[in-house]
A = this chain, B = another copy of it.
Amino acid sequence: MTSTPDTLSRIAILGTGLIGTSIALAAFRAGIEVAGWDADGDVLARAGSSGSLTAAATLEEAVRGADLVVVSTPIGAVAEVAAAALTAAPDAVVTDAASIKSRIVDDLEALAGDESRRFVAAHPMGGSERSGPEHASASVVDGIVWVIAPTERTDQHAVALVDGFVRRIGAHPVHLTPERHDRLVAFVSHLPQVASTSLMGLAVTEEVDEPDLLLLAAGGFRDLTRLAASNPSLWSDILLGNRDQIADAIDLFTTRLHELRAQILRGRAADVERTFDDAKQARLRLATKPQVRSGVAVLQVEIPDEPGALARITRVLGEGEVNIEDLQIVHSPEGGRGTVHLTVGAPSAELAAGVLRGGGYDPIRLA
């Protein structure tokens, strides 16, 4: 382990699906050599077509000469593949990209013993609704929060190497213990998924008796059930791998639901209103907080509610050489008709604001 973040010249990616190949593309862009391996030869070949990595025939060949090995297989294989990498590359640091941490750290310590000091558990909190290496892009990891979750026994040089790698490829490291990571994602990621799936499941069960039910399903219902279309086997792995934290989060959530239900049944209008007002204030504060994707900026712009208004603002930005990452006409409670949220790369925020002001708009930076 003589490499430092600056001298790190070669990495291996084990598991070349969407996230693995996206990391490979971001590393390649940063001048780092990448070898890749995947248990599925077809996936590996498609990842090789990205031009960012050299396909290796075996795990051992991939990790040879690597300063850092990134394990980005499905959750169930991470500990085993990481242990194999620690053995095959005795001088390398090994890290992973899975959505849960404590379970993986425990499994790896059982498999690799003291060698697991060279393993730095991590979770790049980016992704895409697509899967497979052909949908990979360096933009999947640009500016995202990348949780680094070492244990007390993890080698500090290994942690520093991973931290430096994350910064070098353009992401934003946040250090948490594995337990805190798992608790926080249970609330902000796993519980929303569980709530969305349960709401959709309930509606479709009720729909059997009430065929008009989904005819009345407007924007709010669609917002809340969008996550329900996520990958079932991926989510089964995540929830079972973080079962204690998610069980705790579900308990706290249902307790709140029961409390609100009791307030409603007892007709306690002031209590219900206060519960709603507390949540409203919190949500309005959240709207002004930076998103996980801290590498982007969000600008709010009022536009006239008339034909051509969108064409004009996108033309103004295009002529100003501003690349729009996302554009949303806001129908959220804190916004209004004719309000647009523009997402641009953080380095372009000033440029975009200037171009908009030059075009007669009055942008407000939200994040």
Contacts and interface: CB of A to CB of B under 8 A. Distances in A.
Interface stretch (A44-52, A53-61, A275-283): A275-283
A167 interface: no
Interface in A209-225: 210, 212-225
A329 interface: yes
B216 A292 contact: yes
A228 B227 CA distance: 17
Interface stretch (A5-13, A244-252, A357-365): A244-252
Contacts of A210: 180, 183-184, 187
Given A195-B224, A223-B226, A224-B224, A200 B283 contact: yes
A289 interface: yes
Interface string A151-163: 0000000000000
Contacts of A213: 184, 187-188
Nearest to A284: B229
A84 interface: no
A173 to B, nearest CB: 12
Contacts of A29: none
Interface in A192-243: 192-204, 206, 210, 212-233, 235-237, 239-240, 243
A232 to B, nearest CB: 4
A264 B186 CA distance: 13
A333 interface: yes
A201 B247 contact: no
A337 B135 contact: yes
A172 B272 CA distance: 33
Task: Please classify the interface of chain A as helix (H, G, I), strand (E, B), loop, or mixed, using the class held by over half of its residues.
Answer: helix
B224 A223 contact: yes
A335 B135 CA distance: 12
A4 interface: no
B333 A227 contact: yes
A34 to B, nearest CB: 22
A200 B225 CA distance: 16
Contacts of A199: 191-192, 195, 253
Contacts of A336: 128-130, 135
Contacts of A290: 215
A251 B233 CA distance: 27
Given A220-B189, A265-B247, A337-B128, A273 B236 contact: yes
A2 interface: no
B228 A214 contact: no
A291 B218 contact: yes
A224 B318 contact: no
Interface in A263-302: 264-265, 267, 269, 272-280, 282-284, 286-287, 289-293
A75 to B, nearest CB: 11
A81 interface: no
Contact of A145 (B187, B216, B272): B216
Given A129-B334, A310-B314, A314-B314, 19 more contacts: A145-B216, A174-B215, A184-B216, A188-B213, A189-B218, A193-B220, A196-B224, A198-B257, A204-B279, A214-B286, A217-B286, A222-B291, A223-B226, A229-B283, A235-B272, A243-B267, A246-B261, A250-B260, A310-B327
12 contacts: A135-B337, A183-B210, A194-B257, A197-B275, A197-B276, A197-B280, A206-B252, A217-B292, A306-B323, A307-B318, A308-B318, A326-B331
